[in-house]
Structure 1
């Protein structure tokens, strides 16, 4: 049981994302919704597209973890937004908040001692809660780095 607690603690720490790099909130803090829609030459996605992609993928992972009747999205089409910029400041802020809420939702799943981190999901093909939490950590870190790089290229970091 002691090692399970330490694994939970480590997962919670990784989901907070403050170890080796900035977290999601830091990456978007001070960013305007107009900046989020600027396409930088040579970069295939805008910051908005990355934020929405993180949100969509994270929502999908959480849905998989909670719903035994989960149906997979179509890759890659369903994982990227159709628009390259947010339609409004409110839409931008909602998406940013949804990413933060999704991270917290996964943290709540990890905190719950009733959730066995290594139990495979019956509706999956070997996935565990541990694996899905690490998928969020890995996926978010990758795209947070891209957001920071674009902000640097825009001179807004």
Structure 2
């Protein structure tokens, strides 16, 4: 969550030249897949999007501070859920179709979040909003 620290909602939609996404879009894309994998971990079978672009929001920026804060909170709650799942049996099969274990799903989720966290840090640098205040 530190990668978002100090970023004002008005800046979350900043999109540098030749950059396909804003921080806002990346955050929502991360939430989409985080929720997807957490659903598997809860024993559900989520519907995979037909196209990758279906996991990206159309909106470039949040509409107000409340939407930004609520979305950050949603992402944070998902991270906590993943952390709680990591305390359980990592060898338990959760995706029977592809024979993926809890550990496999969590590894995929964390790799995905890590990849996009790096992109967020880079975008923040490019829009002049880096480093976070506590660094």
TM-score (norm 1): 0.77
* Number of residue pairs aligned between Structure 1 and Structure 2: 130
Partners in 2 of 1:50 and 1:122 — Cα distance?
25
Tell me what 1:33 maps to: 9
**CA contact 1:57–1:79 (8 Å) conserved in 2:** yes
- How far is 1:140 from its partner? 0.8
- Note the aligned Cα RMSD (angstroms): 1.5
1:111 aligns with 2:87: yes
Candidates 52, 60, 82, aligned match of 1:76:
52
**CA contact 1:118–1:129 (8 Å) conserved in 2:** yes
Is there any run of 5+ residues in structure 1 with no aligned partner, and where?
1-24
Partners in 1 of 2:129 and 2:57 — Cα distance?
23
- Higher-helix-fraction structure: 1
Partners in 2 of 1:111 and 1:119 — Cα distance?
12
Tell me what 1:137 maps to: 110
Is there any run of 5+ residues in structure 2 with no aligned partner, and where?
131-135
